[in-house]
Structure 1
């Protein structure tokens, strides 16, 4: 169960098809997170349509789904270049579009250690990038981003409680038992240390990965939220049956 510390719940949704979202306060800042039961959901990554054009928005992802399918919880899922192609490793439906990048470099992506989210049927893992590269697992879907927020229970070593870089931030973490995936976004600007602690101390995820800042987006039909903004790169989303109650269309 999620630890009830430094917490007050603002908004909670009734779970729909293995997914439920809440807005909470943690250490004087609001966060929205969605808990996804991996045993009950189909989770995919999305980048391009059948013609090769970048999708980039929740509405276009939903429009690209098959008949009878609807987009559930979704979020932008990794950093991207100006043409919105992935910066690091990207695998979709078993096909690799971009190789893994293990060198350090400028920006948040190059703030090593960074990591990879690896998805397979009803299971997921967040793996440090160099460890991933040394012994690559099979991933039906994978996206690389950075930095890691939580690494085997510890915050990224470069994070400072006094850090002055504040942004709206989003990321992903996996529960210790590997059965639940958490997508979270800060609802006001926070630093990396604060955001990492949300995953480590509140969501209690031993490993968590930063997706992005400033361009962070969340689609959460169960709480009536679908963030707008200019198009992004990779998107992670739950694919659900169109007949399921609470499956409002993406905006």
Structure 2
């Protein structure tokens, strides 16, 4: 039996109680629907970019296939930053201590270049740091991904966001609690504006710093919720690693 078929069989056998143990939950805020996935410092949260054969992982299934060799699986996962057509990261990417792409601090086109942008860092704790501040005092990150724009900066919304904007998309991002002991990943289940999405992190989740990861292509893998979003291959992926079975 292949690893993929075995995983599908195990998912079919998950007890109903497994949903209660999921790191993810659905949440309504200001009339919009979101799914929130929470991790604590010390959890095995990783970024996945480069598969064992040197190519980008691209899909949740490929990450799971690689983890299966060590008896592990994804508790949840989502896309974790913007990428070029070859799926290489647009900005900083650190994967298990190895630099895959460098930090970009210049303004540029698109959402990534809408300064301030930022870096999500996984070390002994979590952090979301504005990119130029990160450049001047970078923490030792085991994993890191740069994206943009920042959603919340020291409790303030990004200054370019408009409350009445009609630019609405499915969006996903990450926010970090004060002290860095908790990180919350969110994906909207309905189309929302940047201002709405940023308010979710600041006002709905109470997080002082948050970073936009992407929109339109945003996808979530949450097996305990029986959610397996599909689409074209991605660039960076963030995932919580747990024992299989």
**TM-score scaled by length of structure 1:** 0.88
The corresponding residue for 1:8 is none
Structure 1 position 73, deviation (Å)? 1.2
Q: Which stretches of structure 1, 4 residues or more, deviate above 3 A after TM superposition?
A: none
The corresponding residue for 1:9 is none
Q: Distance between the aligned counterparts of 1:140 and 1:237, measured in 2?
A: 14
> Secondary structure of 2:104's partner?
coil
1:73 aligns with 2:76: yes
Q: Distance between the aligned counterparts of 1:36 and 1:226, measured in 2?
A: 19
Give CA deviations for 1:165-222 in whole Å, capped at 9, x if unaligned.
Answer: 1100000011123221101001011100000000000111100000000000111122
Q: Distance between the aligned counterparts of 1:155 and 1:67, measured in 2?
A: 41
1:91 aligns with 2:94: yes
Q: Distance between the aligned counterparts of 1:38 and 1:218, measured in 2?
A: 21
> Secondary structure of 2:199's partner?
helix
1:108 aligns with 2:111: yes
Aligned length: 227
Choose the corresponding residue for 2:27, options 24, 27, 38: 24
Structure 1, unpaired ranges of 5+: 1-11, 244-251
> Secondary structure of 1:14's partner?
helix
The corresponding residue for 2:20 is 14
Q: Distance between the aligned counterparts of 2:82 and 2:26, measured in 1?
A: 24
> Secondary structure of 1:112's partner?
coil
Structure 1 position 83, deviation (Å)? 0.5
Q: Distance between the aligned counterparts of 1:107 and 1:237, measured in 2?
A: 25
Structure 1 position 36, deviation (Å)? 1.3
| Structure with the largest fraction of helix | 2
TM-align CA RMSD: 1.2
Q: Distance between the aligned counterparts of 2:41 and 2:189, measured in 1?
A: 25
Q: Distance between the aligned counterparts of 2:52 and 2:24, measured in 1?
A: 31
The corresponding residue for 1:119 is 122
